[in-house]
Amino acid sequence: MSALRPDISVAVLNQRGQEYLPGYLGIEILSLAPGQLNSRMPIRQLHIAPNEFLHAASVVALADTSCGYATIAHLPPGAQSFTTIELKSNHLGTVTEGAVACVANAQHLGRSTQVWDAVVSDEASGRTLALFRCTQMILWPK
């Protein structure tokens, strides 16, 4: 398992996203540990689709942000950054109020790629709403 970067913390990750999509959506990073990141997103009207269900893109944004921030925290020494090369989501349910939670877990932490799985759930009940997987390509200085 790759070690956490000492310069990355929950506070750094939350600050990093404030002026970008994660901040706009209200995504909050709650905890970071080797191989895992926990987050949440309080549901607001902007997260809801015109059909009055939680918009799939909101769920994907939470899961992708969680896995992406976890990747940043687990970059190998000397790596510059990363980019997502594949993602997949299965949506199993919806909520329209409260908050959604996400737990991202590392499945592979390699020198050239990382694979992360995330489960998005209703924060109040724990009911699974979506399963998500992404592959990240590690970027190295030229």
Q: What is the reported pLDDT for 3?
A: 86
pTM: 0.96
Q: Is the pLDDT of residue 1 over 70?
A: no
| Four-residue CA torsion sign, 106, 11, 65, 38 | positive
Nearby residues of 11 by Cβ (< 8 Å), 6 or more positions away? none
* 89-140 pLDDT, tens digit each: 999 999 999 999 999 999 999 999 999 999 999 999 999 999 999 999 999 9
* 45-56 pLDDT, tens digit each: 999 999 999 999
